[in-house]
Amino acid sequence: MKNKVVVITGASSGIGKALATTYAKSGAKLVLGARRLDRLESLASELDTETICVATDVTKEQDCKQLIDSAVDHFGKIDVLINNAGISMRALFEDLELDVLKNVMDVNFWGTVYCTKYALPHIIETKGSIVGVISIAGYVGLPGRTGYAASKFAVRGFLDTVRIENLHKGVHVLVAAPGFTASEIRTKALVEDGSSQGDTPRNESKMMSAEECAQHIYKAVKRKKRSLILTFIEGKFTVFLSKFFPSLLDRLTFNHMAKEPNSPFAK
């Protein structure tokens, strides 16, 4: 990855920040996008590689275009685009204000679409990689996370199709599905009225670290894998059950998620 140009959205925290650190150590040049420019600049000052930071709200098409244009204007190319920016939610659909679902879709799905649209010609030119960071919720519906699951299913379908359309153009597309990973995504998750949840309902210390997750994604890009499902029980085994024992998985998923503190639903 030395001297490859890597664009990362949602790079101010969590998996995105860990990806920036991982790619910097490999000698890649970085283009970091997020809304919190101050955090990006603080991160860039710690990285031992050429880095530019671009204030980016991925729900805005023009911001995504500016992110890609800035990368090409500064470095002349793009080798890897990592669509990592994301937001979650936690509420029953029947209680949910629909603007919350739209907000989640705008960040997770449309942010990926906008960035991919403007980066694609440059990725075709370098025969580079497009990465979508989804979730196990992109394979299995999670109760209390209708908008989140819908957005991640949508990203998977979108990027799988982009892969097929560019099958003979040398474009690599990876859809990466981490299991539960320690980050601030749960504290920032939206509840039924659109406000932030504030406290995580899960034990973050028992989850995969963002740094470990970033290492897996980095290696999957190098190996040009088409999909990456992380963790065994919450990841690979869950996807297996969804294919062969879907009704059983529905019950197991409901019971598992119902055990969360202050769960929006109960048995």
Which residues are part of the catalytic machinery?
A: 148
Residue 107 · residue 85 · CB < 8 Å: yes
Furthest CA-CA distance within the chain: 56
How many other CB atoms are found less than 10 A from the CB of residue 22? 22
- The DSSP string of 58-111 is TTSHHHHHHHHHHHHHHHS--SEEEE-----B-B-GGG--HHHHHHHHIIIIIH
User: How far is it, in rounded angstroms, from Cα 59 to Cα 175?
Assistant: 20
**Of 200, 10, 238, the residue nearest 107 (C-alpha):** 10
* The amino acid at 222: K
C-alpha span between 4 and 14 (Å, rounded): 22
Q: What is the CA radius of gyration of the chain?
A: 18
